[in-house]
Amino acid sequence: EITDRQYDKLFAELKVLEEANPQLITPDSPTQRVSGRPLEGFTTVRHAVPMLSMDNTYNAEELRAFDERVAKGLGGRDFDYVVELKIDGVAISLRYEDGTLVTAATRGDGEVGDDVTTNVRTIKAVPLVLLGGRKIPTVLEVRGEVYMPTAAFVELNKLRAEAGESAFANPRNAAAGSLKLLDARITAERNLAFFAYSIGELSGPLAENHYQTLQGFKKLGLPINPNIKKAGDIDKVIDICLGWSEKRLDLG
C-alpha cells in the first residue's frame, strides 16, 4: 500500500502523461473514474432483465414454509442454500461488454432505472475493466449493492454539520443521494463501496450455481460480501441468521 500523498502525486503524474499522450489512456486508468464537469441530468435505462425486489421475513416458520415450497418446486431436497448478509444500500446493475464497464443503472421501478454510470465509475470497488480475459462473457450484467460504510457515513455527516448542512438520516439515504449527484467529483469524495450479488443479462455461461457465481465474481475482480456461507438445510440457514441477529449492530 501507499499513502494518500503518494497516490495523489502519482495520479497527478499520470494525468500529465496522458494529456501529453492520449493514445496511452486505457479504460481502466484511474483518471477515467471522475468526470471533469457536472451532468445536466440523468437519462434512463431499460433493464434487459428486470431487477425484482426481494421478499423479507423475520421468523423461522416463514423460512421453513419457504423451504417447503422450494423442495416441492424442485421435486426433492437435493439442493443447498447460500446465506448472505443484506446490505442496506442502493441496488445497482453494472453492464460489462467485452469486460469493460459501459453502463451502471439504478433499480428504479424494476423495469427502468436511472443511468448513474458517471457516478458509479468513481467508486473504487467497481472495476472499470474485469479480470479474466477471454473467459468473460461478451455481455455480463452484474447486480449488486452500492452502500456507504459506517465510518464514511459518520465522517460525511460531520463535514455537513461543520458546513451548516443537514445530516443524512442513515447510510442508505446518504448512498442514494450520493449516486444522484450531478457532479461526480463530489460523489468521488463520498467513499462509497460496492458488493456484487447476482447476475442480470448474460450472453454465455459463467457458473453452474449461485455460490460458484459469487466465487467467479471474485476472480473477475468484483468484490463480494466476505460473510457468505453455504447451508445444507433450512435449519442451518436459521442458525446462521440467529447468529448474525446477535452481532448485526457490529457490522459497518
pLDDT, averaged per 10 consecutive residues of the chain (252 residues), comes to: 73 78 72 58 90 86 95 94 93 96 94 94 95 86 96 96 94 94 92 96 91 94 95 96 80 62
Same domain, 8 and 52: no
In which element (H, E) is residue 16 found?
Answer: helix 4-20
pLDDT value at residue 36: 52
Same domain, 205 and 239: yes
Same domain, 22 and 135: no
- Between CA 55 and CA 76 the distance in angstroms is 23
* Number of domains composing the chain: 2
pLDDT value at residue 34: 58
pLDDT value at residue 32: 65
Same domain, 113 and 19: no
Same domain, 113 and 231: yes
Same domain, 8 and 133: no
Range of the domain at 97: 39-250
pLDDT value at residue 48: 94
> At 81, which CATH number?
3.30.470.30
Same domain, 4 and 54: no
Set 9, 15, 72, 86: catalytic member:
86
**Known catalytic residue at 86:** yes
Q: Alpha carbon of 16 to those of 7, 26, 95, 185: distances in Å?
A: 14, 15, 30, 19
Same domain, 104 and 131: yes
Q: pTM of the prediction?
A: 0.83
The helix-helix angle for 60-74 and 234-245 (nearest 10°) equals 150
